[in-house]
Amino acid sequence: MAVLPVTPPLAASLAYEDVDLSATYLTRPHTISDGDIATFSTLTHDHHPLHTDDEFARSMGFDRRIAHGLFGLALMEGLKAELGLYTTTSVASLGWDDVRFRAPIYVGDTVQTRVTFLEKRPSRRPGRGVVTEQVELVNQDGAAVITARHASLLVTVAPGG
């Protein structure tokens, strides 16, 4: 299993001006469990047999049942949050674009989130800036199973900074 080198949590949140467009961050690994899929199914009321029935999933061409794509997307954000990139500097998520579910996620897969800064620009509102990230959920084989672009609105000076 190829677990990529993890970026330690940041000591301080990144304000807009701190964002380095050459930087890439990598979260800790998370191994997908039966409980992850069951909890997400219950929480979202999505009990589609692709996520709950191995036989059905096999009949659709998968090795066994798969995790919800939206679970993977939410997990990407949760793992990213653990890095502490914007704990005290995030004003809002402005949205996700170009989300692609590239490969199935199975119970037992170990995934990590890779975040690469793509661009940044000042906001129309003073004291804030927009940062766009390329975000990928990468499995134990190094394959990106989900890819997306995410825009965040950040303060330009960290509170207390």
- Write down the pLDDT at residue 7: 82
Mean pLDDT, residues 42-62 taken together: 97
- Write down the pLDDT at residue 157: 82
pLDDT band at 158, cuts 50/70/90? low
Domains in the chain, start-ordered, CATH in brackets?
16-155 (3.10.129.10)
Cα–Cα distance for residue pair 84/3, rounded to 1 Å: 20
- Write down the pLDDT at residue 2: 59
Q: Is the pLDDT score of 65 beyond 90? A: yes
pLDDT band at 14, cuts 50/70/90? very high
For the chain, the average pLDDT equals 94
Give the long-range contacts of residues 129-136, CB within 8 A, separation 24 or more: 129/16, 129/17, 129/19, 129/153, 129/154, 129/156, 130/94, 130/154, 131/16, 131/19, 135/76, 135/77, 135/80, 136/76
pTM confidence score = 0.91
Identify whether the C-beta of residue 150 lies closer than 8 Å to the C-beta of residue 93. Answer: yes
Q: By three-state DSSP, how is residue 118 classified?
A: strand
Q: Which phi and psi (to 5°) does residue 151 adopt?
A: -110, 135
pLDDT in tens, 88-140: 999 999 999 999 999 999 999 999 999 999 999 999 999 999 999 999 999 99
Q: Is the pLDDT score of 25 beyond 90? A: yes
- Write down the pLDDT at residue 4: 64
Q: HSE of 32 in the Cβ direction (CA atoms, 13 Å)?
A: 27
Cβ atoms within 10 Å, residue 6: 13
